[in-house]
A and B are shown apart, each in its own frame.
Chain A
Amino acid sequence: MSTTPESSNPSSSSNGPSGQDGSGAGSEPVLLSLRGISKNFGPVQAIQGVNLDVPVGQVTALIGDNGAGKSVLIKTISGIWEPSGGHIYWKGDEIHVHTPRNATDLGIATVYQDLALCDNLDIVQNMYLGREETKFAMLDEIKMELATNQLLRDLSVSTVKSVRQLVASLSGGQRQAIAVARAVMRESQLVIMDEPTAALGVSQTAQVLQLIRTLSSRGMAVLVISHNLNDVFTVADRIAVMHLGALCSEGPASNYDTASAVELITTGHSSRVPSTLTPSS
């Protein structure tokens, strides 16, 4: 593992997040904690002072208007870039995620909004990109193809003709399914999805939502960004709202309804939602 935990001993994390209680994350242990995370691009402050806890075995939905900073936040967690300020804790230990590889090595799998697939490679090659199976240093294509077939069947992705077809030839929904399947295959502890249903039709959306529930019931933490409040209320255990680069509300999904969620998304506050924001440090 090439990450650099500052304290590998959990007991020394006294300056870390407040732990399982008092953080408002319910009864499940917290897997990932963000404290005061900010990111600026030159003079542009994209996100600032974000505190967020992502508990194990639950679906946390991150919602917010276009440009609120949701994608920037998850890219910070995924090692696309380093935060300009703040701390990230993984199971109580502070970590520094310098590269995407650091994140995947920890057990964070991310399905990006643009899916990050290689059009010139086939489905199997994309599924295993970065973690190919080998035999005597040679790629073990048969093993990878069999496992891909199996996984796509498990996930009921039945519309692709052949796993050896180029990703360029797939429809938007199929591409999304492949990107999600790839994150699932990595047996990660945290799966992050950026707008996974944005490009999908009704039945494929239902499939992806089902998939998200399956992941959390297997004990994985899921952090999902969505624009679609229907999807959010169907699938989320917890909801976090971003407004203009800041996290403005966070809590169990039962604290919210469509009206209050819309209010939070557009104005950043709502009188009808109890404030459950995690205090900084």
Chain B
Amino acid sequence: MSEDLSIPGPNSIGLLVKRMRQGDSGMLPVLVGLLLLVIYFQIRNAAFLSSGNLVNLFVQATIFILLGMAEIWLLLLGEIDLSIGITSVLGGAVTVILVDPQFNVSWFLALPAGVLVVTAIGALYGLIVVRLKVPSFIVTLAGFLAFQGVLIYLVDAQGTGGTIPVHEKVLYNLVYGYLTPLWTWILIVAGVAFLGYRMIRMDVSRRSSGLATDPLSFVIGKVALLLAAGIILAMVFNANRGTFVPLSGMPFAIPVDLGVLSFGTLILTKTKAGRYIYAIGGNTEAARRAGVRVERYRLLAFCLAGLTGGVGGLLYVSNLNGVNDGPPSTLTLYAIAAAVIGGTSLFGGRGKMIHAVVGGIIIATIYNGMALLSMSASTQYIVTGVVLLAAVTVDAIARRRSATS
């Protein structure tokens, strides 16, 4: 092993500082921001960190997280979807209508059907963008208007006065059903064990191949942090949060989110498809010259965005316990904000699925904390806007510094 090719690293702290100065600050600034928000809300209202409120907050975050992850598929390519808040709800509406007693389709078919609708819309966008070379900004803006019309038509056609309630158990339970405390523990322990095992194994095999690695303390620290987070989460989910009857365990929405997160992260970091999506976002022409079938992977990303958004739509209608013809126009903006606050670039080539989780939790924290303090919707919009601007500015400054150093 030549000395030239190894990363010099005195210790883990030094390494962390060094990376931050190189502009690879990762998610640390946003996490610090989140911590400050949490401290503020906790001081103003001691109920903020109660397990009941935290579980509530996580469930609120799931929709921002899923739609944010949908956006990340496209943001990585330098594309965007301005309609995901409508198309995902349209998919959810299709599921709600299918499981409605008048059609009485089994959830087993109805849930995938809803997701499929959103995926098909993503594929349609992808075809128009890739084949006809229309900017995704315009295509999805047109889609925003057109599919809003379709949604109004579909919902009103049921003749239930602009809203359709959910009576079906499985769809309802996506958000309102819970794992038992035992299963909550099993799931979290299994997840932590698997991730920890992967991290350690990766480190060991790099070491045994003679490749440069982070210091051992760094890896152990990360695994320990993961374990601590898992234990805290399990305790939060398993504390009794019921007011009249005991209520505890992890809402189903959380494993749904984690499943989509794992799927997306796996594709992006471990497969050729993911590598090509980054490459196309970084330098499309270079990817093409390297033999990457650029059109195919751009189309794939649009489909994956639809797929991810489709799952988000199911959680949305489940959480609302129905669907109406006028979903909030802010849903798409929050999705993009979640991705960008978490650290994904709007200009392509830079981002991770986990960014939507962090960004989504920050947005849900603001949303939830302000409601708890009975602050007005106007304040909530302003604060979210400021946080978004701050996150992007910190990122831009960090990047400029790394480009000039």
Tell me which residues across on chain B come within 8 A of A152, comparing CB atoms: 5
Question: In the bound complex, do residue B286 and residue A129 qualify as a contact, i.e. CB atoms below 8 Å apart?
Answer: yes
Question: In the bound complex, do residue A149 and residue B350 qualify as a contact, i.e. CB atoms below 8 Å apart?
Answer: no
Tell me which residues across on chain B come within 8 A of A80, comparing CB atoms: 289
Given A80-B289, A158-B2, answer yes or no on A118-B282 (Cβ-Cβ < 8 Å): yes
Tell me which residues across on chain A come within 8 A of B205, comparing CB atoms: 142
A129 partner, pick from B2, B22, B285, B290, beta carbons under 8 A: B290
Tell me, yes or no, whether A7 is within 8 Å of chain B by CB.
no
B291 partner, pick from A100, A112, A137, beta carbons under 8 A: A100
Given A116-B283, A129-B279, A146-B211, answer yes or no on A101-B291 (Cβ-Cβ < 8 Å): yes
Tell me, yes or no, whether B109 is within 8 Å of chain A by CB.
no
What band does the interface of chain A fall in when counting residues whose beta carbon is under 8 Å from B?
35 or more
A130 partner, pick from B2, B278, B290, beta carbons under 8 A: B290
B267 CB to closest chain A CB (Å) equals 11
Question: In the bound complex, do residue B281 and residue A120 qualify as a contact, i.e. CB atoms below 8 Å apart?
Answer: yes
- Chain B, range 258-304, C-beta contacts under 8 Å to A: 270-272, 275, 278-279, 281-283, 285-293
Tell me which residues across on chain A come within 8 A of B291, comparing CB atoms: 99-101, 104-105, 130-131
**Which of B4, B22, B290 is the most central at the interface, judged by chain A CB atoms within 10 Å of its CB?**
B290
Question: In the bound complex, do residue A161 and residue B5 qualify as a contact, i.e. CB atoms below 8 Å apart?
Answer: yes
Tell me, yes or no, whether B102 is within 8 Å of chain A by CB.
no
Select the stretch in A15-23, A39-47, A163-171, A221-229 that faces chain B: A163-171
Question: In the bound complex, do residue B212 and residue A121 qualify as a contact, i.e. CB atoms below 8 Å apart?
Answer: no
Q: How far is the CA of A260 from the CA of B206 in the complex (A)?
A: 56
Q: How far is the CA of A244 from the CA of B186 in the complex (A)?
A: 73
Given A100-B288, A110-B289, A142-B209, answer yes or no on A118-B5 (Cβ-Cβ < 8 Å): no
Given A119-B283, A121-B279, answer yes or no on A139-B7 (Cβ-Cβ < 8 Å): no
Question: In the bound complex, do residue A159 and residue B271 qualify as a contact, i.e. CB atoms below 8 Å apart?
Answer: no
Q: How far is the CA of A142 from the CA of B286 in the complex (A)?
A: 24
Tell me which residues across on chain A come within 8 A of B5, comparing CB atoms: 149, 152-153, 160-163
Tell me, yes or no, whether A82 is within 8 Å of chain B by CB.
no
Residue of B nearest to A146 (CB): B209
Task: Give 1 or 0 for each of B331-351: 1 = CB within 8 Å of chain A CB.
Answer: 000000000000000000110
Q: How far is the CA of A125 from the CA of B22 in the complex (A)?
A: 19
**Which of A105, A110, A142, A163 is the most central at the interface, judged by chain B CB atoms within 10 Å of its CB?**
A142
Interchain Cβ contacts within 8 Å, total number: 100
Tell me, yes or no, whether B32 is within 8 Å of chain A by CB.
no
Q: How far is the CA of A138 from the CA of B350 in the complex (A)?
A: 21
Q: How far is the CA of A50 from the CA of B290 in the complex (A)?
A: 26
B285 CB to closest chain A CB (Å) equals 7
Tell me, yes or no, whether B403 is within 8 Å of chain A by CB.
yes
Residue of A nearest to B292 (CB): A130
Question: In the bound complex, do residue A168 and residue B287 qualify as a contact, i.e. CB atoms below 8 Å apart?
Answer: no
- Chain B, range 11-61, C-beta contacts under 8 Å to A: 22
Tell me, yes or no, whether A132 is within 8 Å of chain B by CB.
yes
Question: In the bound complex, do residue B4 and residue A159 qualify as a contact, i.e. CB atoms below 8 Å apart?
Answer: yes
Q: How far is the CA of A158 from the CA of B270 in the complex (A)?
A: 28
Question: In the bound complex, do residue B278 and residue A162 qualify as a contact, i.e. CB atoms below 8 Å apart?
Answer: no
Given A142-B211, A153-B2, A162-B212, answer yes or no on A116-B286 (Cβ-Cβ < 8 Å): yes
Tell me, yes or no, whether A180 is within 8 Å of chain B by CB.
no
B215 CB to closest chain A CB (Å) equals 14
Q: How far is the CA of A263 from the CA of B350 in the complex (A)?
A: 49
Residue of B nearest to A110 (CB): B289
Tell me, yes or no, whether A65 is within 8 Å of chain B by CB.
no
Tell me, yes or no, whether B393 is within 8 Å of chain A by CB.
no
Q: How far is the CA of A272 from the CA of B322 in the complex (A)?
A: 88
B263 CB to closest chain A CB (Å) equals 14
**Which of B8, B22, B283, B402 is the most central at the interface, judged by chain A CB atoms within 10 Å of its CB?**
B283
Question: In the bound complex, do residue B278 and residue A118 qualify as a contact, i.e. CB atoms below 8 Å apart?
Answer: yes
Question: In the bound complex, do residue B275 and residue A125 qualify as a contact, i.e. CB atoms below 8 Å apart?
Answer: yes
**Which of A117, A129, A160, A168 is the most central at the interface, judged by chain B CB atoms within 10 Å of its CB?**
A129
Question: In the bound complex, do residue A164 and residue B2 qualify as a contact, i.e. CB atoms below 8 Å apart?
Answer: no
Tell me which residues across on chain A come within 8 A of B289, comparing CB atoms: 78, 80, 100, 110, 112, 116
Tell me which residues across on chain A come within 8 A of B2, comparing CB atoms: 149, 153, 158
Question: In the bound complex, do residue A120 and residue B209 qualify as a contact, i.e. CB atoms below 8 Å apart?
Answer: no
- Chain B, range 363-405, C-beta contacts under 8 Å to A: 402-403
- Chain B, range 63-104, C-beta contacts under 8 Å to A: none
B interface residues with partner A (beta carbon < 8 Å): 2, 4-8, 22, 205-206, 209-212, 270-272, 275, 278-279, 281-283, 285-293, 349-350, 402-403
Given A130-B287, A149-B2, A161-B7, 13 new contacts (CB under 8 A): A80-B289, A101-B293, A116-B283, A116-B289, A118-B287, A118-B349, A129-B279, A129-B286, A139-B275, A152-B5, A153-B2, A161-B4, A164-B212
Q: Give the top 8 A-B pairs by smallest Cβ distance, nearest first.
A: A120-B282, A130-B290, A130-B291, A120-B349, A118-B282, A101-B291, A116-B286, A129-B290
A interface residues with partner B (beta carbon < 8 Å): 78, 80, 99-101, 104-105, 110, 112, 116-121, 125, 129-132, 134, 137-139, 142, 145-146, 149, 152-153, 158-164, 168-169
A-B contact pairs, 9 of them (CB 8 A): A78-B289, A99-B291, A118-B283, A119-B282, A129-B275, A129-B279, A129-B286, A130-B291, A139-B271
